[in-house]
A and B are shown apart, each in its own frame.
Chain A
Amino acid sequence: TQLLEQSPQFLSIQEGENLTVYCNSSSVFSSLQWYRQEPGEGPVLLVTVVTGGEVKKLKRLTFQFGDARKDSSLHITAAQPGDTGLYLCAGTNTGNQFYFGTGTSLTVIP
């Protein structure tokens, strides 16, 4: 069962544009992580959000956890080619099992 749906699945934009990636579920999560993965490598943890409504910023990336802790968004301002990669969200409930989203493949064209 796929608990987390990400949209869009693919995104190709020009350098300097803004974008938002969504991660949605019908389940409540106690925490949610965002990762970026480059081809042939493992995902790299970007951020963890744990409180409903929480907003975290990482340079040009802004992460928000939904009030009901069922969804999250990732907004990138002024995208750069170095932002290219596969973005994955992952939710956890009680315990240590992670449920991964379907992924969003981002390409930023110089």
Chain B
Amino acid sequence: KAGVTQTPRYLIKTRGQQVTLSCSPISGHRSVSWYQQTPGQGLQFLFEYFSETQRNKGNFPGRFSGRQFSNSRSEMNVSTLELGDSALYLCASSLEAGTYYEQYFGPGTRLTVT
């Protein structure tokens, strides 16, 4: 079974621009979560989508948004980019395994804002 895929792997953008990142979950997984990882802050939760609905949301400004399609693929968008948005953006899909969930990560998209 193929793993979680993310595109693109690397991206360079300029302050003020917007960016869209894509994630394809493992087949059969309906939950997709997005995280931002930086050396100073570690892994920070952005949001989670399940069956095209946002189910959980982290503490990020409204410039960060996402959506999920009927095939469970997900996109996240960041508008009006700031230098501090430079980070590794990770997508994870998860499957309910009885009474708990297991989460599987993609390789990430490295975003650099100049």
* A residues lining the B interface (CB < 8 Å): 30-31, 33, 35, 40-45, 48, 50, 88, 90, 92, 95-100, 102-103
Residues of A contacting B42 in the complex (Cβ-Cβ under 8 angstroms) = 100, 102-103
Q: Apart from A33-B103, A42-B90, A96-B48, list 16 A-B contacts with CB within 8 A.
A: A35-B105, A40-B88, A40-B110, A42-B4, A42-B108, A50-B99, A50-B100, A92-B101, A96-B33, A96-B55, A98-B45, A98-B92, A99-B45, A100-B35, A102-B42, A103-B42
Q: Which residues of B contact A103 (CB under 8 A)?
A: 42-43
**CB proximity of B97 to chain A, nearest CB, Å:** 8
Q: What are 27 A-B pairs with beta-carbon distances under 8 A?
A: A30-B99, A30-B100, A31-B100, A33-B102, A33-B103, A40-B108, A41-B108, A42-B4, A42-B90, A42-B92, A42-B106, A42-B108, A45-B104, A48-B102, A50-B99, A92-B100, A95-B55, A96-B33, A96-B48, A96-B55, A96-B101, A97-B45, A98-B33, A98-B45, A98-B103, A100-B35, A100-B45
Which residues does B use to contact A, with CB under 8 Å?
A: 4, 6, 31, 33, 35, 42-43, 45, 48, 50, 55-56, 88, 90, 92, 94, 96-97, 99-108, 110
